[in-house]
């Protein structure tokens, strides 16, 4: 839920003067993307999305994000396409923030992910991984294993406010994961490339039951593909009551494997990556929970949802628990 910076008609007029997309007829802040301010911009030629990049997004990362969307869109991945102004530029300043206009994607995010949605997401994620193979830029994943300890340390003292014993539990898990996590590039059988890194249901649109768009590339980075798959498993395959839905997982993984050849190492390492992904969202949610700004527009999400997911993955011994056949 976003919209932090307000945009008025003067800002819009000045911005659109650079483009050949008509004049503004409406501009509404939309509840999309947590990191940035997003507007549905209607012009005399159609609908667009205007994004203002807020402070949590580093300006030096913008060429990666914008370039990636251009690259993927050119390869036929359904994602927002940055719109170029008359001089070929994509980034502008609006109301004091860096900003870009991107294409408007049709579709609706599912409120409850169905098995059919999970199948679609698996296929779309594979397509994204394959299509980004020749994307030339590189961005480190700030929220992979190296980023977890500083995040944990900043929450450690107050973690037990959320649940007694949580600090000790997280400390043990972090020790295990640090000891077991493969260094990037170390293994040839764990392929890496561009990952979305935040493929939650709010970031995927469907139309007539099929994926019609993937949005919010502002966590995208270079990391193991299987880490992205593990994030998606966590985000899509648990029920509201906390139960893991193996049918959904099987469909997600089957459709992923139909689009990209997965190695046996990736399959066997899935429990490890699923634990890592659960810990990553547990830690960022815990941080946001403990650092709530009074009156903030963003409702923090329950960190303990990810503690329950973590506990599920801790008792998984092999890929068949995720519905996988080797």
Mask: binding to a second copy, 5-24, rule CB under 8 A, as x and -?
-xxxx-xx-----------x
- Give me the least distance between CB of 11 and a second copy, in Å please: 8
Residue of the chain from 109, 171, 245, 265 that contacts a second copy (CB under 8 A)? 109
Per CB under 8 A, 96 contacts a second copy: no
Q: Which is nearer to a second copy, 49 or 279 (CB)?
A: 49
Residue of the chain from 15, 16, 19, 32 that contacts a second copy (CB under 8 A)? 32
Question: What residues pair up with 50 in beta bridges, in sequence order?
Answer: 39, 101
Window 112 to 141, contacts with a second copy (CB under 8 A): 112
Sign of the four-CA dihedral 252, 255, 259, 262: positive
- Give me the least distance between CB of 309 and a second copy, in Å please: 21
Per CB under 8 A, 108 contacts a second copy: yes
Rounded distance, CA 313 to CA 182, Å?
18
- Mapped onto helix, strand or coil, the DSSP state of residue 251 is helix
Could you tell me if 2 and 56 are in contact, meaning their C-beta atoms sit under 8 angstroms apart?
Answer: no
Q: Contacts with a second copy: how many residues (CB under 8 A)?
A: 39
- Give me the least distance between CB of 12 and a second copy, in Å please: 7
- Mapped onto helix, strand or coil, the DSSP state of residue 206 is strand
The closest alpha carbon to 33, from 198, 175, 165, 172, belongs to 198
Radius of gyration of the chain (CA): 20
- Give me the least distance between CB of 219 and a second copy, in Å please: 21
- Give me the least distance between CB of 180 and a second copy, in Å please: 35
Residue of the chain from 116, 300, 305, 316 that contacts a second copy (CB under 8 A)? 300
Q: Which is nearer to a second copy, 50 or 170 (CB)?
A: 50
Mask: binding to a second copy, 175-214, rule CB under 8 A, as x and -?
------------------------------xxx-------
Sign of the four-CA dihedral 64, 70, 72, 74: negative
- Give me the least distance between CB of 160 and a second copy, in Å please: 19
The set of residues, in sequence order, having a beta carbon less than 8 Å from that of 254 and lying 6+ positions away, is 119, 122
- Residue 253 CB coordination number (10 Å): 25
- Residue 126 CB coordination number (10 Å): 21
- The rounded Cα 238 to chain-centroid distance in angstroms is 17
216, two tokens: 């919010």
Could you tell me if 118 and 144 are in contact, meaning their C-beta atoms sit under 8 angstroms apart?
Answer: no
Residue of the chain from 83, 92, 98, 104 that contacts a second copy (CB under 8 A)? 104
- Give me the least distance between CB of 224 and a second copy, in Å please: 32
Sign of the four-CA dihedral 257, 263, 266, 268: positive
Residue of the chain from 1, 157, 168, 243 that contacts a second copy (CB under 8 A)? 1
- Chain residues binding a second copy by CB under 8 A are 1, 3, 6-9, 11-12, 24-32, 40, 42, 47, 104-112, 205-207, 292, 294-297, 299-300
């Amino acid at each position: 839920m976003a919209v932090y910076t307000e945009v008025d008609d003067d800002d819009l007029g000045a911005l659109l003067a650079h483009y050949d997309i008509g004049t503004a007829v409406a501009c509404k802040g939309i509840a999309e993307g947590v990191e940035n301010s997003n507007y549905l911009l209607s012009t005399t030629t159609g609908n667009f999305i205007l994004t203002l990049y807020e402070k949590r997004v580093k300006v030096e990362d913008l060429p990666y994000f914008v370039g990636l969307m251009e690259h993927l869109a050119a390869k036929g991945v359904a994602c927002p396409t940055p719109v170029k102004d008359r001089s070929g530029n994509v980034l502008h300043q609006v109301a004091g923030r860096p900003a870009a206009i991107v294409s408007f994607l049709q579709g609706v995010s599912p409120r409850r992910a169905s098995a059919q949605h999970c199948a679609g997401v698996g296929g779309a994620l594979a397509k994204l991984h394959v299509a980004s193979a020749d994307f030339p830029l590189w961005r480190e994943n700030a929220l992979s294993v190296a980023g977890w300890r500083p995040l944990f340390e900043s929450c450690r003292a107050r973690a037990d406010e959320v649940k007694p014993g949580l600090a000790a539990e997280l400390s043990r898990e972090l020790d295990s994961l640090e000891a077991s996590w493969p260094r990037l590039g170390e293994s040839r059988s764990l392929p890496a490339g561009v990952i979305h890194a935040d493929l939650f249901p709010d970031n995927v649109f469907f139309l007539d039951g099929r994926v019609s768009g993937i949005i919010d590339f502002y966590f995208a980075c270079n990391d193991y593909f299987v880490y992205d798959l593990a994030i998606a498993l966590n985000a899509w395959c648990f029920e509201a009551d906390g139960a893991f839905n193996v049918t959904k997982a099987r469909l997600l993984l089957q459709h992923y494997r139909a689009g990209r050849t997965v190695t046996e190492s990736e399959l066997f390492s899935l429990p490890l990556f699923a634990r890592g992904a659960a810990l990553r969202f547990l830690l960022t949610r815990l941080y946001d929970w403990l650092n709530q700004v009074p009156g903030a527009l963003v409702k923090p999400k329950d960190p303990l949802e990810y503690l329950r997911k973590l506990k599920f993955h801790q008792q998984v011994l092999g890929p068949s628990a995720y519905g996988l056949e080797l």
